[in-house]
Amino acid sequence: METFQSVLAKKLSDALAAAGLPDAGELTLASDPRFGDYQTNAALILGKQRNENPRVLAEKIVAHFVTDDLCEPPAVAGAGFINFTLRPAAVAEKTMEVLRDDRLGVAEAKSTQRIVIDFGSPNVAKPMHVGHIRSTVLGDALARIAQFLGHEVIRDNHIGDWGTQFGMVIYGWKNLLDRQALQRNPLAEIVRIYKETNERAARDPEVREACRQELIKLQAGDKENLDIWNECVAFSMQDFERVYKLLDIHYDIQCGESFYHDRLSGVVERLLESGIAEISEGAVVVFFRENSELADKPLIIRKRDGGFNYATTDLATIDYRMNDLKADAVWYVVGAPQILHFKQIFEIARREGYTAELRHITFGSVLGEDRKLMKTRSGENVPLRELLEEACKRARKIIEEKNPQLSDDEKSDIAQKIGIGAVKYADLSQYRMTDYVFSWDKMLSLQGNTAPYLQNAYVRIRSIFRKAGESAPRIDELVLADSAEINLAKRLCQFAESVPQVLNDFRPNILANYLFEAANSFHTFYEACPVLKSEEPTRSSRLALCDLTARVLKHGLGLLGIQVPEKM
């Protein structure tokens, strides 16, 4: 199904060709709806390129534009913008198409890929904390949207389960472990013994050496150390799964760093043989002499002592994703501090001849009210599970006040949908590179650009149908007379334009902001246009618009990983 935007863009292209001009500029939603629904800056771009008056060029383009029944004759405004206003009849016809379509007008991508999305990636032997929220919910939303657009998506949780910290954990396990504490709260006890060992190692070289020996034994396959490691991994995975269950997030594969351990020496040998890597001062290093940006930033892939590092593991991971998973693209949803690391890894992959698209999707930080990285009062990272449980608790309190007659099970279910939805939406409604302040009051508010505001719009629509005692009517045509219902219908048709845009620069905030605008348009319509008290055929037409709004809100929020309650 074509969108208004795609049809207008094609007509604009035809008009440019008929006027003897090349394609230029963009056709976007109008920045000010008073001047129309869509606009293009084509004449401004061409005027600059050709050193001609953009308004004269705009008039020339407009003279060749064939409107058909779609829009009014385009208008030239300002320095040479061209504005397009849709005809109400065209809006009614398109809205009927969207109403009848299970996909709400969203077409599948013309060319689809097998995409591995690497997101979340917590470290074993540590609880997930608030710093993991961005990678986890951003990666999940991108996975849901890519899948809906027809791509084959493999969600991969690249868990940090192999590294130097395990020497300390194993030493602590053997010398400091409190078994009863381990049974009560496994992860807290593992963190305690790790911290205590770390402090001892900083003071005592013998402890430091003992930790190093425990790590060497683990990496050599010592049974006792492997058993301890397996137990630590199992405890951590249980804790992670509780968080993922709360967040309604699943992974297709969870290949931790340990999965690649046996492949690392092969990676190094291959890169040496191909001449991509070389031995320098006893270490194996990749230099980027031809790359001006990386020329002074070599990458070690095997240390002098024969040990491997993150870089070696990430190269083995790329091999696996290309050769075993047959990925056409790999998206790494990992924080901005890793930019240099991924530039180096991607450059090596290109030298090896891998042609898949490799993208590093970066994001900003979650800040506390003091605008510094969010921490507990004692300066620790805020545990993610505690944060999510607090969100549900706060949402439950609001429900108790507003709707005390609900059953206990209903209150728990609704509280989880509102609490978790609020946390996710607070993150996803921001541009991903923006740092944002974590504010309970703001994210749980029923006013403004929040998940509860959108969920409440959905609930209000469901209550209309409960009051009517009927489901959405089947209609053959929409009656659009009032400007508020015309504007709502236009907005609902634009869902199909917003969803594919998200993947252009990995920006779920485009979809979040669209849904906020759709909810605003619905509230304006609801205030201006009586629904149940209207005469037919207006009544059925407005009920159909209400139903379509509910479907768009539910589906759009679902693509962001946010559920909607039926009551609030």
pLDDT tens digits, one per residue of 515-534: 999 999 999 999 999 999 99
Three-class HEC string of 391-448: HHHHHHHHHHHHCCCCCHHHHHHHHHHHHHHHHHHHHHCCCCCCCEECCHHHHCCCCC
CATH code: domain of residue 334 = 3.40.50.620
Three-class HEC string of 146-186: HHHCCCEEEEECCCECCCCHHHHHHHHHHHHCCHHHHHHCH
Longest alpha-carbon distance in the chain? 87
Determine the Cα–Cα distance for residues 121 and 134; give it in Å rounded to an integer. Answer: 11
One domain, residues 143 and 171:
no
Q: What are the C-alpha distances in Å from 155 to residues 130, 237, 533?
A: 21, 16, 48
Residue 146 lies in a domain: yes
Please check whether residue 435 is in contact with residue 364, taking contact to mean a CB–CB distance below 8 angstroms: yes
Q: Give the tens place of pLDDT for each residue, 182-215.
A: 999 999 999 999 999 999 999 999 999 999 999 8
CATH code: domain of residue 76 = 3.30.1360.70
Determine which helix (DSSP H) or strand (DSSP E) holds 357, and give its type and residue range.
strand 357-361
Decide which of 194, 213, 247 is a domain's last residue.
247
Q: Give the tens place of pLDDT for each residue, 445-471.
A: 999 999 999 999 999 999 999 998 888
Residue 377 has a pLDDT of: 61
Q: Give the tens place of pLDDT for each residue, 58-86.
A: 999 999 999 999 999 999 999 999 999 99
One domain, residues 144 and 272:
yes
Whether residue 330 is predicted with pLDDT greater than 70 in this model: the reply is: yes
Sheet holding 357-361, edge to edge: 152-156, 114-118, 329-333, 357-361
Residue 76 lies in a domain: yes
Whether residue 376 is predicted with pLDDT greater than 70 in this model: the reply is: no
One domain, residues 33 and 62:
yes
Determine the Cα–Cα distance for residues 519 and 497; give it in Å rounded to an integer. Answer: 17
Beta bridge partners of 77: 81
Q: At 31, phi and psi to the nearest 5?
A: -70, -25
Residue 65 lies in a domain: yes
Determine the Cα–Cα distance for residues 180 and 164; give it in Å rounded to an integer. Answer: 26
One domain, residues 22 and 145:
no
One domain, residues 133 and 177:
no
One domain, residues 9 and 77:
yes
One domain, residues 119 and 266:
yes
Question: 538-559 and 508-528 helices cross at what angle (nearest 10)?
Answer: 160
Residue 279 has a pLDDT of: 96
One domain, residues 146 and 275:
yes
Whether residue 378 is predicted with pLDDT greater than 70 in this model: the reply is: no
One domain, residues 170 and 197:
yes
Decide which of 326, 361, 396 is a domain's last residue.
361
Residue 268 lies in a domain: yes
Residue 379 has a pLDDT of: 65
The helix/strand/coil state of 381 is strand
78, 80, 73, 82: which is closest to 30 by C-alpha?
82
Mean pLDDT, the chain, rounded, equals 94
Rg (CA), the chain: 28
Query: Residue length, the chain?
Result: 568
Determine the Cα–Cα distance for residues 138 and 520; give it in Å rounded to an integer. Answer: 24
Residue 484 has which token pair? 């508020």
Q: Which of 319-323, 414-418, 505-509, 532-536 has the lowest mean pLDDT?
A: 532-536
Residue 420 lies in a domain: no
Determine which helix (DSSP H) or strand (DSSP E) holds 97, and give its type and residue range.
helix 88-99
Which structural domain, as residue segments, surrounds residue 131?
A: 114-158+262-361
Hey, what amino acid is at 454?
Answer: L
Q: Which of 54-68, 309-323, 362-376 has the lowest mean pLDDT?
A: 362-376
Number of independent structural domains in the chain: 3
Residues 6+ apart with CB under 8 A from 502: 142, 145, 508, 510, 511
Residues 6+ apart with CB under 8 A from 194: 125, 126, 165, 168, 169, 172
Residue 162 has a pLDDT of: 87
One domain, residues 291 and 143:
yes
Decide which of 329, 361, 393 is a domain's last residue.
361
Residue 402 has a pLDDT of: 87
Determine the Cα–Cα distance for residues 428 and 398; give it in Å rounded to an integer. Answer: 23
Residue 428 lies in a domain: no
pLDDT grade for 127, boundaries at 50, 70 and 90 = confident
Residue 545 lies in a domain: no
Residue 354 lies in a domain: yes
One domain, residues 43 and 126:
no
One domain, residues 181 and 316:
no
Q: Cα 485 vs. chain centroid, distance in angstroms?
A: 31
Average pLDDT of span 422-447: 94
Q: Give the tens place of pLDDT for each residue, 137-182.
A: 999 999 999 999 999 999 999 999 987 889 999 999 999 999 999 9
